[in-house]
């Protein structure tokens, strides 16, 4: 299993809005192919900073979502994170 961890901030002008984030799960009723589950964490120290942790079946599934789905909230978070060069961590789950 491939884990993708993105950091992002809510920004009404350049990124995802607070309203979109609050409705994130509702907007993601149909998960992209290969996405097993996800979690969103709010940073306790830095205001307005969040972390999206995604569990994908493979990195190829994540790459396919990024290249094909340009309208979902999930792809917007990916784009905001990349455009602003926020921290990104990639890892494999080892049990």
CA dihedral over 31, 2, 24, 82, signed as positive or negative: negative
State the Cα torsion 48-10-77-80 to the nearest 10°.
-100
Tokens of 36: 């097993």
Secondary structure class of 28 (helix, strand, coil): coil
pLDDT, residue 15, reads: 67
Mean pLDDT by 10 residues, the chain (95 residues): 89 72 72 88 87 92 84 80 82 75
Q: Which CATH class is domain 2-92?
A: alpha beta
pLDDT, residue 5, reads: 92
Tokens of 91: 């890892």
**Distance from C-alpha of 91 to C-alpha of 4, rounded to nearest angstrom:** 7
């Amino acid at each position: 299993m491939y884990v993708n961890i993105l950091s992002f901030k809510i920004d009404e002008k350049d990124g995802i809005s607070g309203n979109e984030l609050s409705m994130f799960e509702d907007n993601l009723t149909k998960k992209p192919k290969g996405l097993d589950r996800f979690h969103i964490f709010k940073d306790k120290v830095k205001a307005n900073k969040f972390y999206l942790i995604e569990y994908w079946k493979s990195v190829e599934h994540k790459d396919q979502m990024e290249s094909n789905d340009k309208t979902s909230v999930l792809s917007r978070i990916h784009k905001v994170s990349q455009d602003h060069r926020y921290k990104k961590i990639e890892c494999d789950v080892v049990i």
